[in-house]
Copies of this chain bind each other. A is one copy, B any other.
Amino acid sequence: MGKADDCRRLALLEAQRALREAQRALVIIIAGVDGAGRHAVINALTHGFDTRGVRVHAWTPESAPGAHRPPFWRYWQALPARGQIGLFLDGWYTAPIEAAFRGEEACCETLKAFEAQLAADGAVLVKLWVDLDVGRARAAIRTRIKAEDRAPTVSEQCVLAAQDDADDGLTALREQTGEWTVVPGGKSKRAAKAAIDGVIEALQNPDPVRPARRRARRPAKASPLAQLDLDARLGKQAAKRDIDALQAELARRLWAAHRREQPVVMLLEGWDAAGKGGVIRRVTAPLDARLFQVVPIAAPNDEERARPYLWRFWRQLPRDGHMTIFDRSWYGRVLVERVEGFAQPHEWQRAYGEINDFEAQLVAHGTVLVKLWLHISPEEQLRRFAARAETPHKQHKLTEEDWRNRDQWGDYLAAVDEMIARTDRPGAPWTLVPANSKPYARRAVLQTLVNALDGD
């Protein structure tokens, strides 16, 4: 190995150390036409870094994780923690590249929003394009599959069958998505050296972490919460009859969703003691345990804290044909984290947009999304706290924190109002449930869920 190679490796190791110290993730995309030599580039890069904390994500269509989940699920799963490195073969450019082979133009809005989220989280993103025109790539593929005595893979078939104007489409894709480092493909050693130089250069001047600009706050509208009839009540007997019928219908409709392979996401937010647990019990009682999962959301653990905020919710998304019930949710970012100051203003401010993007991806994937706010009055909450304090098997539910949160009712109310105003979207509407009467709230939630699910 030559002197220049030694310098390269030293520079890579130094950059890796600096990133680890700065606690910034490094995400490298190695993209290009199959046959251009992307694999040699990946191997050279992994050998250049200290392998601890480096992970390669290169999938065949069958081995790619996250079939039966929204398309970006797999990229979220694979995100490196801060201070670590992830190398992606094509990554989220897989579908746009394949579109170019077919002569189609791909929509890149989702991937741009994803990259913006990585950047806002401090990740350094390096996009390498291993460049070879389709004609020469085809020749390289034919040589290789002969030497390796095998049929072409799916992605190789795409190149072999590519449209004549595929090269133009790929150029347009790069122009549309910006900031590519193009390295010459074909000769693997030359490509590897150029790639390493590209990574080193990007790492020597990484973009500073810039908080997203704070969006102007919308003018306050009349609070929809104030319109709720909190006195809405239902007798226990009448409720039981309705609830029994709704539970039976829910079981039927969830099986129907399972048959259609449609995923269901239900999230519950609401005041402390608003009755979330009781609602979840009524929803899940009639259901087959294989069809749903209840995910209680508490403070993030270390692994979760080391990645962009939405990572831990992406990992819990249901597989198609199944339901996840989030007991509290990603809205904690703009509720408790905002009010208690756990998130910086620029973090929770940008969360509205991130959440809307996230939910739009769920909806685009065909997910039934039910967002519920259980609303009670401060007086009703006080009554329930007192009852909890007196009931042995409920005492664990009442903590110091609950009393502290109560003191900030007004701040929370403002946060809830803004949350509803900014995230009540087509396909992702909020349902506000008057919950001073538990039987009323339980029936209302079951009815909402049944209505959201198709009957057949």
Interface locus among A44-52, A127-135, A413-421: A44-52
Contact check: which of B6, B259, B319, B396 meets A150 at CB < 8 Å? B259
| Given A89-B290, A319-B63, A392-B6; A248-B303 close (CB under 8 Å) | no
Interface locus among A164-172, A208-216, A293-301, A334-342: A293-301
Contact check: which of B13, B43, B289 meets A42 at CB < 8 Å? B289
B255 and A150 form a contact (CB under 8 A): yes
B59 and A290 form a contact (CB under 8 A): yes
In the complex, which residues 248-265 of chain A have their Cβ closer than 8 Å to any Cβ of chain B? 248, 251-252, 255-256, 259
Q: Is A302 an interface residue (CB 8 A)?
A: yes
In the complex, which residues 286-325 of chain A have their Cβ closer than 8 Å to any Cβ of chain B? 287-290, 293-294, 296, 298, 301-303, 319, 321-322
A149 and B252 form a contact (CB under 8 A): yes
Q: Is A381 an interface residue (CB 8 A)?
A: no
Q: Mark A58-69, 1 if CB is under 8 A from B, else 0.
A: 111011000000
Q: Mark A392-412, 1 if CB is under 8 A from B, else 0.
A: 110010000000000000000
Q: Is A193 an interface residue (CB 8 A)?
A: no
A58 and B290 form a contact (CB under 8 A): yes
Specify which chain B residues have a CB less than 8 angstroms from the CB of A13 in the assembled complex.
393, 396
B10 and A393 form a contact (CB under 8 A): yes
| Given A46-B294, A252-B147, A302-B302; A289-B393 close (CB under 8 Å) | no
Q: Give the CA-CA distance A252 to B151 in the complex, in Å.
A: 11
Q: Give the CA-CA distance A161 to B393 in the complex, in Å.
A: 44
Nearest CB of chain B from residue A417's CB, rounded to whole Å: 28
Nearest CB of chain B from residue A153's CB, rounded to whole Å: 8
Contact check: which of B62, B149, B281, B303 meets A303 at CB < 8 Å? B303
A289 and B58 form a contact (CB under 8 A): yes
A51 and B6 form a contact (CB under 8 A): no
Closest to A285 in B: B43
In the complex, which residues 19-52 of chain A have their Cβ closer than 8 Å to any Cβ of chain B? 38-40, 42-43, 46-47, 50-52
Q: Give the CA-CA distance A115 to B53 in the complex, in Å.
A: 32
Q: Give the CA-CA distance A150 to B303 in the complex, in Å.
A: 41
Specify which chain B residues have a CB less than 8 angstroms from the CB of A248 in the assembled complex.
147
Specify which chain B residues have a CB less than 8 angstroms from the CB of A294 in the assembled complex.
46, 51, 56
Q: Tell me the A residues contacting B by CB distance below 8 Å.
A: 6, 9-10, 13, 17, 38-40, 42-43, 46-47, 50-52, 55-56, 58-60, 62-63, 89, 147-150, 248, 251-252, 255-256, 259, 277, 281, 284-285, 287-290, 293-294, 296, 298, 301-303, 319, 321-322, 327, 391-393, 396
12 contacts between A and B (CB under 8 A): A6-B393, A9-B393, A10-B393, A38-B289, A39-B287, A50-B396, A51-B277, A58-B288, A63-B290, A89-B289, A148-B251, A148-B252
For the complex of A and B, list the 3 residue pairs with the smallest distance between their C-beta atoms, beginning with the closest.
A58-B289, A9-B393, A10-B393
Q: Give 6 A-B pairs besides A13-B396, A63-B290, A147-B251 with Cβ atoms closer than 8 angstroms.
A: A6-B391, A51-B327, A63-B321, A89-B289, A148-B255, A149-B252
